[in-house]
Chains A and B, each alone.
Chain A
Amino acid sequence: MIYTGSRIIFSSILRPLLIALLLVGVFGLVYLRSSVMTLEYSLGDLEKTRRNYLRERKMLLAEKTSLLSFERVEASLSRSRGFVLPDRIRVIHVKNRKETLPYNASLERKLP
């Protein structure tokens, strides 16, 4: 059999290289697939965690809303702190007129 130069190159260099590339490719594919699977598992776990947190959030929101009801707030403040609702006749109404405010503290120079 007569071996030409190109055949020698193919059999001694390219063939092992192609086989190596094929193996690397196959390994790469398997690795990628397993990475995707791992990611999907992680995502699945995260989704589960998210669902649990959302569930807990709902419970906490319900509890907060319940605790903030007027009835509870009024009852607890009047019982424990002695708060009473003010008589509306004693409400002070102040006219909001800037120009008549008696005291103005300012570092700006007064206009002549």
Chain B
Amino acid sequence: MPHWKENCPNLNCRRAMGGLNKKRAIILNTTIIFSFFVVFLRLTDLMIFNHKSLSERAKLQHVKVEDIQVRRGIIFDRQEREFALNIELESLYCDPEILDLNNDGLKRLASVIAKEPRFILSKIHNEGRFVWVERKLEPDAVEKIKGLNIKGLGFMTEAKRFYPKGKLASHILGFVGIDNQALEGLELKYDRYMKTSGGKIFLERDAIGRTLSSGVDTEARGNNIVLTIDEGLQHIVEKEIDKAMAKWKAAAASVIMMDPFTGEILALANRPTYDPNNAGNARNPEKRNRAITDCYEPGSTFKIIAGTAALEERLVNPGTLFDVSKGSVEVGGKAIRDVHKHGVLNFKEVIQKSSNVGSVTIGLKLGKDRIYKYAKLFGFGEKTGIDLPGEVSGWISRPERWSGTSIGAISIGQEVAVTPLQILRAYSAIANGGFLVRPHVLSEVISPEGRVLASFRDEEMKRIISEKTAGTFKNILKGVVEEGGTGSSASVDGNVVAGKTGTAQVINPETKRYSREKFVSSFVGFVPADNPRLAIIVVIYEPKGQIYGGVVAAPVFRDIANQALSYLDIPLDSIPYNDHLLVSR
């Protein structure tokens, strides 16, 4: 193409062409400047005047806000076996505005979640754009619902508390609600350790909703707790309590196993019971932790008070004789009788044969104030302080409020209300040489990283009776389980057992008198007697057919002790304890 200068031979032409180009340049420059000005104005509008609203919109488009998933701490037994953990399940929600659900779909959905169609309809007619349809569904159900392809339904992952051992130790563990809020048992007691706070995380996402890496952990875990409970011992206890319930057709039962030196609860079971995985379906009596929340009149197991008090006050010794041949004794105008007539018994035999007349005679020797003092020393009428919710203190009235018959009644375990745990703690004091321990179920609190944050220490353990009195009474309790004692059926092959039977009448709430049909049978003891490792109480409420503690509860003690000693590899008494042993089965 020829240059314009070549087409313009003269100067005028050249000048005219130059002017034209200049004009064009000015127009072009002006256009560019104007365009930039327009862009500048628009940018000012976007970045200054509409900055806030637009940045919010932009954030909503490319930032996704997610809740940090909060997980409760895990509950372990003393051997670090899981008692309670978390699983993740899908929860079904719907957006009523875009929900496309026909009759057929509704029926199918209802059948998958096992609910009535009207239940679903009541949910989806709510206002708003988010409604839970069903929480924490099983994976099978989730797959089936996804297969229905219903528009407007969605899933959200939620943590569910899961108790892998089912009913085992349910009264200790407790349970949580649908939002994992603690409702009962240890879940409630140590909620502050196990729960944790959540928060939110901001995730970047692109136009099609794919999220970019956040680099932040989306899960917050609470502290784990380790219990003093042993799953093996708990299983033995629950198995035997079930057998006893079936055999005696009892209304209820409680068994506690404790280390008498430390107060560590090794097992605790009640019947009736429930599955914490379906706590919502359980009835209230099933959820009651009777071992600490229910009081009963202890009967002969309470003779420990008069017995130890008399020894400690040096009013009696094991050989002191009591004439109980009349078979009854009158206190405050009321006759208290023995079940079987005896002749002259020494102090040891009074306890061994559980003579009411002998015990009342000892009680009369002691007087009200000393009986009350020792009952309080053994912790009756006060909470034991166990770290489980709902414990009651029991009841023993002050001596000034006692009636004429009270001294006799209280000496044989009537007119007092105790919990099974209180009785077990009292007998543990005999087993450990005179110290009152504090029962507990928590051993340690451990952070998610494995650091020990807290551990149980009993700094309040106090001596309540002398070592000599404890030793003497221990020997007397051994006699109860020997031939001729009321608790002989609690004896264990290979190890000496020390314990006491109890048979107590239940007060009929209608007549306000003792029932002739309803009894509470119990046995409390420890084994091996000379080097106690286990203290166990068995309480059977309202057994049918038999009533005596020695017949109903003592064999349960024997069966539990036999298996527990085997489980713990505790050698027979005949084998010296200090020898190195290889144990083989």
User: Given A41-B210, A41-B212, is A58 in contact with B86 using a C-beta cutoff of 8 Å?
Assistant: yes
Any A CB within 8 A of the CB of B11: no
Any A CB within 8 A of the CB of B575: yes
Bound CA–CA A6/B165 (angstroms)? 88
User: Given A65-B82, A70-B232, A91-B583, is A86 in contact with B88 using a C-beta cutoff of 8 Å?
Assistant: no
Count residues of A near B (Cβ-Cβ below 8 Å): 35
Q: Which chain B positions have C-beta within 8 A of A68?
A: 81
Say yes or no: B85 contacts A61, CB within 8 Å.
yes
Bound CA–CA A97/B493 (angstroms)? 27
One of A43, A63, A93, A97 near B212 (C-beta < 8 A)? A43
Contact with A along B570-583 (1 / 0, CB 8 A): 01100100011111
Any B CB within 8 A of the CB of A79: no
Say yes or no: A69 contacts B582, CB within 8 Å.
no
User: Given A44-B210, A47-B214, A58-B86, is A94 in contact with B581 using a C-beta cutoff of 8 Å?
Assistant: yes
Any A CB within 8 A of the CB of B162: yes
Interface members, chain B 142-176 (any A CB < 8 Å): 157, 162, 164-166, 168
Say yes or no: B235 contacts A70, CB within 8 Å.
yes
Question: Which residue of chain A has its CB nearest to the CB of B236?
Answer: A70
Q: Which chain B positions have C-beta within 8 A of A110?
A: none
Any B CB within 8 A of the CB of A88: yes
Which one of B254-262, B292-300, B301-309, B559-567 is at the A interface? B559-567
Say yes or no: A40 contacts B213, CB within 8 Å.
yes
Interface members, chain B 494-549 (any A CB < 8 Å): 494
Any A CB within 8 A of the CB of B218: yes
Say yes or no: B494 contacts A88, CB within 8 Å.
yes
Say yes or no: B164 contacts A62, CB within 8 Å.
yes
What range describes how many residues of B lie at the interface? 35 or more
Any A CB within 8 A of the CB of B584: yes
B218: min CB distance to chain A, Å: 7
Q: Which chain B positions have C-beta within 8 A of A95?
A: 579-582
Any B CB within 8 A of the CB of A1: no
Any A CB within 8 A of the CB of B87: yes
B67: min CB distance to chain A, Å: 14
Interface of A is mostly: helix
Q: Which chain B positions have C-beta within 8 A of A41?
A: 210, 212-213
One of A48, A92, A97 near B584 (C-beta < 8 A)? A92
A101: min CB distance to chain B, Å: 11
Interface members, chain A 23-74 (any B CB < 8 Å): 37, 39-41, 43-44, 46-48, 51, 55, 58-59, 61-63, 65-66, 68-71, 74
Question: Which residue of chain A has its CB nearest to the CB of B204?
Answer: A40
One of B157, B210, B215, B582 near A96 (C-beta < 8 A)? B582
Say yes or no: B212 contacts A44, CB within 8 Å.
yes
Q: Which chain A positions have C-beta within 8 A of B582?
A: 93-96
Any B CB within 8 A of the CB of A13: no
Say yes or no: B213 contacts A91, CB within 8 Å.
no
Q: Which chain A positions have C-beta within 8 A of B168?
A: 69, 71
How many pairs of A and B residues are in contact by the CB < 8 Å rule? 101
Any A CB within 8 A of the CB of B211: yes
B198: min CB distance to chain A, Å: 16
Any B CB within 8 A of the CB of A89: yes
Q: Which chain B positions have C-beta within 8 A of A63?
A: 164
One of B88, B165, B583 near A71 (C-beta < 8 A)? B165
Question: Which residue of chain A has its CB nearest to the CB of B495?
Answer: A88
One of B166, B494, B580 near A89 (C-beta < 8 A)? B494
Say yes or no: A55 contacts B88, CB within 8 Å.
yes
Any B CB within 8 A of the CB of A9: no
Q: Which of B164, B214, B571, B575 is the most central at the interface, judged by chain A CB atoms within 10 Å of its CB?
A: B164
One of B87, B157, B565 near A88 (C-beta < 8 A)? B565
One of A47, A65, A97 near B81 (C-beta < 8 A)? A65
Q: Which chain B positions have C-beta within 8 A of A86?
A: 566, 585
Bound CA–CA A48/B218 (angstroms)? 11
Question: Which residue of chain A has its CB nearest to the CB of B576?
Answer: A95
Question: Which residue of chain A has its CB nearest to the CB of B215?
Answer: A43
User: Given A69-B164, A85-B566, is A40 in contact with B580 using a C-beta cutoff of 8 Å?
Assistant: no
Q: Which chain B positions have C-beta within 8 A of A96?
A: 579-582
Question: Which residue of chain B has its CB nearest to the CB of A91?
Answer: B585
A102: min CB distance to chain B, Å: 15
Q: Which chain A positions have C-beta within 8 A of B88?
A: 55, 58-59
Bound CA–CA A48/B210 (angstroms)? 11
Question: Which residue of chain B has its CB nearest to the CB of A98?
Answer: B580
Any A CB within 8 A of the CB of B231: yes
Say yes or no: B575 contacts A93, CB within 8 Å.
yes
Bound CA–CA A40/B165 (angstroms)? 42
Question: Which residue of chain A has its CB nearest to the CB of B69?
Answer: A51
Q: Which chain B positions have C-beta within 8 A of A62?
A: 85, 87, 162, 164
Question: Which residue of chain B has its CB nearest to the CB of A63?
Answer: B164
User: Given A94-B584, A96-B581, is A65 in contact with B566 using a C-beta cutoff of 8 Å?
Assistant: no
User: Given A61-B85, A69-B231, A86-B566, is A93 in contact with B164 using a C-beta cutoff of 8 Å?
Assistant: no
Bound CA–CA A59/B164 (angstroms)? 11
Can you show 12 pairs from A to B with CB atoms below 8 A apart? A41-B213, A47-B213, A62-B164, A65-B85, A68-B81, A85-B563, A86-B566, A91-B566, A94-B584, A95-B582, A96-B582, A97-B580
Give me 13 other A-B pairs in contact (C-beta within 8 A), A47-B214, A51-B218, A93-B581 excluded: A40-B213, A44-B212, A44-B214, A47-B213, A48-B211, A55-B157, A58-B87, A59-B87, A62-B164, A65-B165, A69-B165, A71-B235, A94-B584
Residues of B within 8 A of A (CB): 81-82, 85-88, 157, 162, 164-166, 168, 204, 210-215, 218, 231-232, 235, 239, 493-494, 562-563, 565-566, 571-572, 575, 579-585
